[in-house]
Each structure stands twice: as structure tokens, then as C-alpha cells.
Amino acid sequence: MNWFRTVAVTVTGLMLCGCATAASTEGAAQSTGPSANASAGSLGTMSGKPDLILNGQTDARPGQLVHMMLYGVSHAQGGDAVTARSPALSGPVALRWEGDHYWALATLKMTDKPGWYPLAVAVHGRTVASDGIQVVPSRRPSFTLPASRDVTRPGEPVWVGFDDLYPGELGADFTVRSAALPGPVPLVHDKNTDFYNPRAFSARPELKPALADGTYTFGLYGPHGRRIAEKRLTVRASRPGDRDYEGKAHGPEFYDPGQGYSDATHKFQVGVGRQVAVMWHDESPDPGEETRLSATSPAFTAILHLRHDDSKGADGDDPRFFGTATIRSDLKPGRYPVTVVAHHGRVKKTEYVAVTAR
């Protein structure tokens, strides 16, 4: 894995202190061009040492990206003349100004051999920072299908990925097909897949929720339908005695959406035409229930779809699901059932909400 580090660097050929100011002033007096005067004067006014921060510079494969940031040089000092050079790169890389620093994304050459390569950053041609890039050998293209456990449940999301950062690999149209999936799944590259690897492709599809037990083949297909690789995944539904067969569900609970939820016992009453919040807890929800749980009641104006609470307020609590329903305005005061069905119908719980005249 590539970790970033901050390097406090010394200026080569120019000390960034009071004596440097004098030297740069003398150089400016001997210069005949206005641009030379500007660059020498701006460099001479730097205070402190620039900081070069690199990300992705260790264990980097040929073709990978290296993220570089330079702090301690103002835009007035650097202008458009901040450049990084390294034999690991195909040529000079211009750093751009953004907010309070200079930055760039540079691509390592596919022809790089394993080893350490120097990198230097210059401002108006003068080196102000340096570091190194570690290049490791290329790896053959790989198709991965990790599972969350030895046996994967129906409806569970699975992560599939393809990494073909390798000389000669250029295609970008990749698809995974399996009888365990609702349909073909395209793999895409985005910053969440691998920021430093421009040829990492992934997807996170959900298995079919009603899937027979068995071992399923996942095929990776490239451009023009060419089959590249395959993986196998064992799928089995939970059974009586399994920890997640019925989970440990409790609820539904009711509370005032304007006051927020607490774990105290709720004796909440709601007036006709007003809103009530519903909470459901489950220690081991079925895979995919994050998107398909609902609460039904003759008191609600519509079916209430519950959403998974992934906020900080849910930290340390069992997985919980909540939503806000509107009470029908034509109801008579009384107690009305609210029902949640979970675990593919194996769990059904009903509680009663108290509705008042207003």
C-alpha cells in the first residue's frame, strides 16, 4: 500500500534565509531580462523550507500515478514555473496552484525498471525540493472476487475487481456475468477503486435475494465479449441454528421526528394528519435488507420504506433502520398496528401506535 510522507527539503544552490536574499538581489542586478528579475526576487523572499508531500511513491508499479504537493511556495513566487522532473517520468510535469499549494498527478513510465528514482521539484529552474520514487515489478492482470465470509448469503453485495495495469493492456470495457447476479455488471474505474492505479476497475453488485444454495461461476468479459477470467463463489442461505437466521430484531418503536430518537421506552402519541418516526433494530439483518425493509400500517398514508442508519448516532448500536410516516387525517383516535417483516418472512413483528384527535 502506498502511504504519503512529508519531506522537509533544503534548497539546492540557494539558502532560503537572509543571505539568500542578498545573493538573489545581486543576481537580479546582473540580469538583463524582466522575467529573470521577477523569479530571482520572488525566490529570495521565501521564508522557511518548502515541504514536498508525495502519495503513491512507494511500492509503485509502472504506469501508476504519483500525487505530489508542494507547500511553502506562494503563487506569487512560483507563478506557472513549478516543475517536477524524474527519470521515472516520461518528461517534466508542471505543478498547478490550488488554494495554498502546488500539486500534480504524474504517471510513471510503463518501461520503468524496478528500483529507486530521484525526483526534484524546481521553481523558476531552481531546485527547492527532492525525494525518491520506488518502482516495483509489474504484475500480471488479476480478477478478484473476495467474499465477506466462507459462505456468502443470497442478496449479499459482493465486490468484484479487475486490475490490468500491465504493459500492452489498453481496453476499458469489462463486464462480469453470473447466474447469481440479476444481470451483466459493468466494471468501472473511479477514485474509490484505486486512486493511484488508472487501470483498476470494480463494481459492487448484489446477489439475487432468492438464490438456491450452490457454487456459482463469475466470468469476466472484455471488449468484444472475450472471456478473460473466471472465479467461483459458494452461496448458501442461512439455516435454523445459524446466528443470522432470524437475527435479533426488535421494534418497531415510535418517536417524535422533531425530537430525535433515544433508546428509552417510547410512549409516543401522534395526532391525526401528523408525522411519526419508526425505528427497527436487528443485530444480524439479512443481506440486502438495507434497501428493502418497510413498515406497513392502516394508519399510514403509504407504505413506509425504512432506510439504514449509517450516521454517527448509530455507532455502537445494533444495525438500525428508520423512516418517517404521515398519519391519515381521516382516522378516529385509537391504537393502530404497525408491522415490519424481515428475514424473508421469517420475522414478523407488530407494535401499536397511539393516534389522538390532534
Residue 264 pLDDT grade (very low, low, confident, very high; cuts 50, 70, 90): low
- Position 272, amino acid: V
Half-sphere exposure of 125 (CA within 13 A, CB side): 5
Q: d(Cα 63, Cα 196) in Å, to the nearest integer?
A: 9
Residue 103 in this model has a pLDDT that exceeds 90? yes
Average pLDDT over all residues of the chain: 85
Q: In what order do the strands lie in the sheet with 160-163?
A: 142-144, 160-163, 200-203
Task: Select the highest-mean-pLDDT range: 79-93, 141-155, 185-199, 247-261.
Answer: 79-93
Q: d(Cα 129, Cα 74) in Å, to the nearest integer?
A: 14
Model pLDDT for residues 26-44, shown as the tens digit of each residue: 333 333 333 333 333 445 4
Residue 149 pLDDT grade (very low, low, confident, very high; cuts 50, 70, 90): low
What is the structure's pLDDT at 261? 86
Model pLDDT for residues 34-72, shown as the tens digit of each residue: 333 333 344 544 556 899 999 999 999 999 999 999 999
What is the structure's pLDDT at 263? 64
Residue 37 or 226, more confident: 226
3-class state of residue 149 by DSSP:
coil
The bridge status of strand 93-94 relative to strand 126-135 is unpaired
Residue 329 in this model has a pLDDT that exceeds 90? yes
Share of the chain above pLDDT 70, in %: 84
Q: Which of 15-24, 212-221, 243-252 has the lowest mean pLDDT?
A: 15-24
Q: d(Cα 205, Cα 208) in Å, to the nearest integer?
A: 9
Find cell 406497513 and name the residue: 296
Q: d(Cα 342, Cα 283) in Å, to the nearest integer?
A: 12
What is the structure's pLDDT at 43? 56
Task: Count other C-beta atoms under 10 Å from residue 285's C-beta.
Answer: 23
Give the pTM.
0.70
Domains (range + CATH), the chain: 5-135 (2.60.40.1930), 142-235 (2.60.40.1930), 249-356 (2.60.40.2950)
